[in-house]
Amino acid sequence: MGLTALKLELLMCLLAVAGLVTSAWWVWPRLSVRTWPAVIGRVAVLLGNQVLILVALALALNNYFGFYGSWSDLLGADDGVAAPIVSDAGDPGQAGRQIGGVQVVRTARVPPIEGHKGHPGGRLEQVVISGGASGLSAPAYVYLPPQYFEKKHVHTRFPVIVALTGYPGDARNLLTRMNMPAVAAMAIERHEMAPTVLVLMRPTVAPPRDTECMDVPGGPKVETYFAQDVRESMAGAFRVGTDAASWGIMGTSTGGFCALKISMRHPEAYSAVASLSGYFRAPTDATTGDLFGGDRRLQNENDLMWRLANLPPPPITALVTTSELGESNYRPTLDFLAAVRPPMRASSLILPSGGHNFNTWNRELPQALPWLAQQLHHPAEGHGGATPTPRS
């Protein structure tokens, strides 16, 4: 039974309730005598009930927030690819194909836009993106808008947005909890954004470690993977632009920090960024380990406030979001906005209230996603920088 299965969650809730009822009605009266075996039994009953309640609560919280997607993900042994959460069959001929650094695992059609019968939603491809520079690979979902398949755009290269979850997260959250393909399809239908390819991923490329998207000294090169490998592999497999002006990156929480940091450190890769509830310096805790290898310079360079104060600002456009009530990054976000200098430009989306959760991000996404797409350059027919060999 899967970690996120509703049956497992209901089963544990029933066991927790049954444990309490059984303990109060039948077990406890039989352990009311003052003997050592009875005392040990009462302690065991209390501990057992607490464990059942905590497990039930942990499963419910995990399913709601999407911390871990499977048992292997929880145990740090997840090297597989999750199944896509879409309906309707796709093009089976595409599945199993390897084009450069992208392996297509499965493909499916995105359901038509609600309230717009006859308007296709586009296509979602479950892939594994591998990189030669970093030596890393990670599962992802690639959303292709319906215009990608129209004859008049057969030679068109499309702008790209890379979207990242938080830590530990699961790329499926961007489908099941935020419904990004549908949000994009609706915005495209309303002409709020140009047709744009989405690459949906999580920043945890080397699970279970939280690398904060760094090239860790002696460890995984996650920054290189997102700044170089993802772009090169995508450009070799799909009709997308290759210039930074055609690439944007966004994320929530840890993904927001990663997106902002990568764009500030690599403006040659991403020209625009949206950070939803992101922070501005990498934490150091049990999940990250030693990210900097004792190198103070490296630590400073990955501190975004330090970068704004001590290094030339990058020529990028950024959107940062927060809430006046409910978000711990409210004051740091205001400090960040005040520190931005040209040629960097920054905008903000500040809610009156909202916690660090999917409900808040779903309120922000319908504005943040079109905003980010509007900052990107739509490559001309057949142009986009270097000439890869994408598939149709």
Question: What average pLDDT does this structure show over 224-242?
Answer: 96
Q: CA dist 86 to 69, 110, 141, 166, 196, Å?
A: 16, 6, 11, 22, 19
> Is the model's pLDDT at 96 over the cut of 70?
no
Q: Which residue has the higher pLDDT, 235 or 58?
A: 235
Using the predicted structure, report yes or no on whether residue 386 has a pLDDT greater than 60. no
Percentage of the chain modeled with pLDDT above 70: 85
pLDDT given for residue 4 in this prediction:
65
Rounded to the nearest integer, the mean pLDDT of the chain is: 86
User: Mind listing the pLDDT tens digit for each residue in 302-334?
Assistant: 999 999 999 999 999 999 999 999 899 999 999
pLDDT band at residue 389, thresholds of 50, 70 and 90?
very low
pLDDT top residue among 22 and 64: 22
Look at 342 and 40; give whichever has higher pLDDT. 342
The pLDDT of residue 384 is above 50: no
pLDDT at 119: 63
CA atoms within 13 A on the CB side of 163: 29
Q: Which of 338, 322, 316, 321 is nearest to 248 (CA)?
A: 316
Is 91's pLDDT higher than 70?
no
Helix locations, the chain, DSSP H: 6-22, 28-30, 36-65, 71-74, 173-176, 180-189, 222-224, 230-237, 254-265, 296-301, 304-310, 330-339, 358-374
Average of per-residue pLDDT across 223-233: 97
Where residue 385 falls among pLDDT bands split at 50, 70, 90?
A: very low
DSSP element (H, E) containing 100: none
Mean pLDDT score, 205-228: 94
Who's near 125: CB < 8 A, 6+ residues apart? 90, 94, 104, 106, 107, 141, 142, 143, 144
Q: Is 107 exposed, middle or buried (0-12, 13-18, 19+ CB in 10 A)?
A: buried
Average pLDDT over residues 171-192: 93
Give residues with Cβ within 8 angstroms of 248, minimum separation 6: 159, 160, 161, 162, 270, 271, 272, 273, 274, 372, 373, 375, 376
Give CA separation, 140 vs 66, 278, 357, in Å.
Answer: 16, 21, 22
Residues 271-295 have pLDDT tens digits of 999 999 999 999 888 889 999 988 9
Q: Is the model's pLDDT at 382 over the cut of 60?
A: no
Q: 60 is written with which tokens?
A: 């419910």
Q: Which residue has the higher pLDDT, 82 or 281?
A: 281
**17 vs 94, more confident:** 17
Token pair for 167:
């830590």
Quick one: pLDDT band at residue 31, thresholds 50, 70, 90?
A: confident
What's the pTM? Answer: 0.79
Question: What is the C-alpha to C-alpha distance for residues 107 and 90, in angstroms, rounded to an integer?
Answer: 5
**Interatomic CA distance for residues 44 and 387, integer angstroms:** 67
CATH number of 86-374: 3.40.50.1820
Output the pLDDT for position 379: 67
Query: What pLDDT sits at residue 95?
Result: 59
Mean pLDDT confidence for 208-235: 96
For residues 2 and 4, give the distance between their C-alpha atoms in angstroms, rounded to a whole number.
5
Q: Phi, psi (5° rounding) for residue 348?
A: -135, 155
Q: What is the dihedral of CA 320, 230, 284, 338, to 10 degrees?
A: -20
Confidence at residue 25, expressed as pLDDT on a 0 to 100 scale: 80
Pull the structure tokens for residue 159: 């702008």
C-beta neighbour count of 58 within 10 angstroms: 14
Higher pLDDT, 376 or 77: 376
For the cut 70, the answer to whether the pLDDT of residue 81 exceeds it is: no
Domain residue extents for the chain: 6-65, 86-374
Tell me the average pLDDT across 230-256: 96
pLDDT, residue 112, reads 75
Handedness of CA 320, 361, 208, 235 (dihedral sign): negative
Q: What is the pLDDT of residue 380?
A: 57
Instruction: Decide: helix, strand or coil at residue 199.
Output: strand
Q: Which residue has the higher pLDDT, 96 or 156?
A: 156
Residue 120 clears pLDDT 50, i.e. is over it: yes
